[in-house]
Amino acid sequence: MVLKINSCDPNFDGSFERLLGRRATRVEDATKVSADIIEQVRKSGDEALTKLTKELDGRDLTLADLIVDRDEIDKAINKITTDQYDSLKFAADRITAFHQKQMPDNFEYLDEVEVKMGMRWSSVDSVGLYVPGGTASYPSSVLMNAIPAKVAGVPRRVITVPQTGKAINPLVLAAAKLSGVQEIYRIGGAQAIAALAYGTETVSSVDKIVGPGNAYVAAAKKLVYGVVGIDSIAGPSEILIVADKLNDPKWIAYDLLAQAEHDEVARSILITDSEKFAEQVVNAVDEILVSLQRSQIARASWEKQGAIIVVSSLTEATELVDRIAPEHLELAVEKPNELMKLIKHAGAIFLGRYTPEAIGDYVAGPNHVLPTDRAARFSSGLSVFDFMKRSTFVECNLRSLEKIGPPAVTLAEAEGLPAHAESIRVRLSSSK
């Protein structure tokens, strides 16, 4: 039975804190296994990749099989329907347009003492894009990872994706082709992360790894951070819906289950100011689960990880939202924009009754790779900035060095760093 708490309950604060602390999967639980996998790949390269793929995924791969050749990629488009291709293209175009608007500008200026300063942006040289392939296949994740990297100007973009069936889902390969990715490897899990970070005979290492995965992928990303950059440590998917009683309970029920059907550790939470509406949503969820295709997964997620919070007024919801800091936030209320202004912490926000979170998973435009497990308090969703870095520059002439150099000398000497001070002083003395 789904957890239900009420803000009027005298024990509410304790119940709410337990909800915040109730995490389904901890990266630490998978760290030991992932560390062992990483070490095997570091030592044995391709041999470890094929061995681990057989042991963990039950697939016999030759070294040649690790690479998804261009012919297989090109043929993928012929294996999907016209409607599927057009939908992928539609999504790709919208995702591209949104991320193009994120591109930052370089700047430089000359200050009042003639010091020239500025900042310039450049892309990383290579990036590994992890595409999940567990209980479902996600061509949308290919678009969301690969397109911002392309827009940012990353010259080498690499995809790793596990093959869970007889072949990689042609939609995944079609999405890769639409995104301009031609380098794809048929590997997943922690071994894929290790290969991207350290390289093997077949897989050249990259500078950064992005993309969500299971607990072992998350643990592996955490372990290789520093050798390569990463986007985040992604946990189970989650949604928080703030809804008033004017909504159709069935709509909200489907929105909750849209997250729950991802996997058994996904989390769906509803905040509402109506006890009656909360009961209507619970009943609608039960009705839908009877016939939902992924009902077993969704039911386990809803009953073990789901929650309903009843508040006396929706004005109470904003503080709770910020404390939860959800990956996805739906504001299915009468004036969602006004409510949004009071909220600071959320990965992506969906406004109004006609903006289900699922629209953001596919075609809205903003990225669906988002901070989970309260990380929205300090981080953001994937963007072009994840594939770029900035360098600052400074240029002094003798006149400007004479104006700003003496205070720098004073500070260097105060810190006990005489060579720092002298490197400035010798230039100033040469002008006398």
Q: What is the pLDDT of residue 27?
A: 62
**Long-range contacts of residues 55-60, Cβ cutoff 8 Å, at least 24 apart:** 56/189, 56/191, 57/162, 57/163, 57/164, 57/188, 57/189, 59/163
Taking residues 123-127, what's their average pLDDT? 98
| 202 pLDDT more than 80 | yes
What's the average model confidence in pLDDT over 293-311? 95
User: 76 near 175, Cβ under 8 Å?
Assistant: no
**Pairing outcome for strands 183-185 and 67-68:** antiparallel
Query: What pLDDT sits at residue 62?
Result: 87
Q: CA dist 393 to 120, 384, 398, 424, Å?
A: 8, 22, 17, 17
Please give the structure tokens belonging to residue 142. 């290919």
Q: Which amino acid is at 147?
A: I
d(CA 99, CA 267): 28
Q: Are 164 and 57 in contact (CB under 8 A)?
A: yes
Range 63-68 contact pairs with CB under 8 angstroms and sequence separation of 24 or more: 63/201, 63/202, 65/186, 66/185, 66/186, 66/187, 66/202, 66/203, 67/184, 67/185, 67/186, 67/202, 68/168, 68/173, 68/184, 68/185, 68/186
Mean pLDDT, residues 319-336 taken together: 97
Overall average pLDDT of the 41-49 stretch: 96
Strand, coil or helix: 391: strand
Report the CATH number of the 27-232 domain.
3.40.50.1980
User: What average pLDDT is seen over the chain?
Assistant: 94
* HSE value, Cβ hemisphere, 13 Å, CA-based, for 154: 31
pLDDT band at 236; cut points 50, 70, 90: confident
Lowest mean pLDDT among 126-135, 308-317, 395-404: 126-135
Percentage of the chain surpassing pLDDT 90? 85
pLDDT of residue 208: 98
Query: In 113-215, which ranges are E strands?
Result: 116-123, 126-130, 156-160, 183-185, 208-210
Regarding predicted confidence, which is higher, 26 or 164?
A: 164
* Tokens 């390289």 sit on residue: 199
- The pLDDT score that the predictor gives to residue 212 is 86
What pLDDT sits at residue 165? 76
Residues 313 and 290: their CA atoms lie apart, in Å, by 32
Mean pLDDT of 354-383: 96
Average pLDDT of the segment spanning 390-400 = 97
Average pLDDT over residues 14-23: 84
Q: Torsions phi, psi of 374, nearest 5?
A: 70, 10
pLDDT digits (tens, 9 = 90+) for 58-116: 888 888 889 999 999 999 999 999 999 999 999 999 999 999 999 999 999 999 999 99
Question: What span, in angstroms and rounded, lies between the C-alpha atoms of 176 and 370?
Answer: 20
Q: Rounded to an integer, what distance in angstroms lies between the CA atom of residue 271 and that of residue 317?
A: 7
∠ CA 310-314-317 to the nearest 5 degrees? 75
- Cβ density class 244-280: b for 16+ within 10 Å, e for less: beebebebbbbbbbbbbbbbbbbbbbbbbbbeebbeb
Say if residues 63 and 146 touch (Cβ distance below 8 Å). Answer: no
Its pTM stands at 0.93
Supply the residues annotated as catalytic: 327-328
What does the domain layout of the chain look like in residue ranges?
3-25+235-364, 27-232, 396-429
Asked, colleague to colleague, whether 3-25+235-364 and 27-232 share their fold, the answer is: yes
Q: Does domain 3-25+235-364 have CATH number 2.40.128.30?
A: no
What is the pLDDT, as a whole number, of residue 132?
A: 84
pLDDT tens digit string along 256-272?
Answer: 999 999 989 899 999 99
pLDDT, one tens digit per residue, over 141-192 is: 999 999 999 999 999 999 999 987 778 899 999 999 999 998 999 999 999 9
What's the pLDDT at 431? 64
C-alpha to C-alpha distance for 85 and 162, rounded to whole angstroms: 22
174 φ, ψ (degrees, to nearest 5): -65, -40
